[in-house]
Amino acid sequence: MTAAVTTASATTTRGAGKTSRRRSAVWLGLTPFAIYVILFLAIPAVLAVGSGFFDSTGTFTFANFSAVTDPSFQADFLNTIVLSAVTAVIGAIVGAVICFALLGTKPDGFLRTVIDSASSVLAQFGGVMLAFAFIATIGAQGVITQLLVQWGLVKNVFNNFEGGTLLYQPWQGLVIPYLYFQIPLMVIVFMPAIAGLKATWGEANATLGGTRFTYWTRIAFPILTPAFFGSLILLFANSFSSYATAAALISQGGLTSLDIKTALVSETVVGKANQAGILALAMVVVMIIVMVAYSALERRASRWRR
């Protein structure tokens, strides 16, 4: 109601009224979202990272930065980056291929609709449920693992990977369950870019004597490249920040998000809770780099979608 009153009174003023009114209306519309982001993202993030700069008695200190020099932290941080990079690259390539294939189907056809909606669901299918689904299929006693054993492969890739069960290796094993939500996510974020390729560009190419090959190499790929790398970065961030799936599968650390939990809740090595803030800071730094790159690419990519 207040909004309506403000707008009404603004129309009666002259001069710069038009633009300022429009701007204030925009800000008003953004307010609920902005409050939400501040309350549930910005404040918790600042508090979490901030805790790294204090000791358990509340005195300001840089001592927690020693956590970064711990070799097991460094190994786990590397694991997290490798896992995220591998699942992002595989997810982006496979997802993009699926999008290309879907280009040949009718936009409102049965196949496209089914894959679209399935992707929306599966992109959110993570956590404990996903972990158990994979324990039941490729765990040590999983259906597929045991089928291979019955076929005579007593030691196969699933139950004998570097002397253990593949699924429970901190990064190699997690690639498979992570792809389960990475590929659908790629389909969701990349499909609009591919669907945005205009038929007129193909016709222009043909009119000027181009072939299908020159259409893809000279027109479509250059246009899609920023969108592709933007999606790739989004997939990286998605893997990087995942926690629940890994926590359900891996009991002995091995990823930074799991190390943060250990530092926070440990009942044996006590008094390291404030180091969690520094581990979080390390993750935030990587996420900031990734997100800056994403927004730069997104700006380039969106030029062609107008």
Contact between 69 and other proteins (CB under 8 A)? no
Residues numbered 167-196 forming contacts with other proteins, rule: CB under 8 A: 167-170
Contact between 271 and other proteins (CB under 8 A)? yes
Choices 41-49, 88-96, 162-170, 293-301 (CB under 8 A): range interacting with other proteins: 162-170
Residue the block writes with tokens 């429009």? 22
One-letter amino acid for residue 165 of the chain: T
Choices 12-20, 195-203, 208-216, 268-276 (CB under 8 A): range interacting with other proteins: 268-276
Among 159, 182, 231, 238, the residue binding other proteins under the rule CB under 8 A is 159
The C-alpha atoms of residue 230 and residue 94 are separated, in whole angstroms, by 15
- In whole angstroms, how far apart are CA 103 and each of 100, 135, 199, 226, 298? 5, 35, 12, 19, 22
Contact between 248 and other proteins (CB under 8 A)? yes
Contact between 268 and other proteins (CB under 8 A)? yes
Question: In this complex, which beta carbon is closest to other proteins, that of residue 143 or of residue 289?
Answer: 143
Choices 26-34, 44-52, 108-116, 262-270 (CB under 8 A): range interacting with other proteins: 262-270
Q: Which two tokens stand for residue 37?
A: 């982001």
Choices 59-67, 211-219, 237-245, 265-273 (CB under 8 A): range interacting with other proteins: 265-273
The C-alpha atoms of residue 186 and residue 84 are separated, in whole angstroms, by 14
Contact between 66 and other proteins (CB under 8 A)? no
Contact between 75 and other proteins (CB under 8 A)? yes
Nearest Cα residue to 64 out of 54, 75, 50, 73: 54
Contact between 288 and other proteins (CB under 8 A)? no
Contact between 255 and other proteins (CB under 8 A)? no
Q: Is 40 exposed, middle or buried (0-12, 13-18, 19+ CB in 10 A)?
A: exposed
- Report in angstroms how near the CB of residue 62 gets to other proteins at its nearest: 20
Among 4, 8, 121, 269, the residue binding other proteins under the rule CB under 8 A is 269
Q: Is 119 left (phi over 0), alpha (psi -120 to 50) or beta?
A: alpha
Among 45, 219, 264, 293, the residue binding other proteins under the rule CB under 8 A is 264
Choices 104-112, 129-137, 209-217, 289-297 (CB under 8 A): range interacting with other proteins: 129-137
The C-alpha atoms of residue 189 and residue 92 are separated, in whole angstroms, by 10
Q: Is the dihedral of CA 275, 277, 281, 287 positive or negative?
A: positive
CA 25: distance to chain centroid? 32
Question: Which residues are CB-neighbours of 33 under 8 A, at least 6 positions away?
Answer: none
Q: Which helix (H) or strand (E) holds 177?
A: helix 172-195
Give contact residues for other proteins (rule: CB under 8 A): 71-72, 75-76, 132, 135-136, 139-142, 159-160, 163-165, 167-170, 247-253, 261-262, 264-271, 273
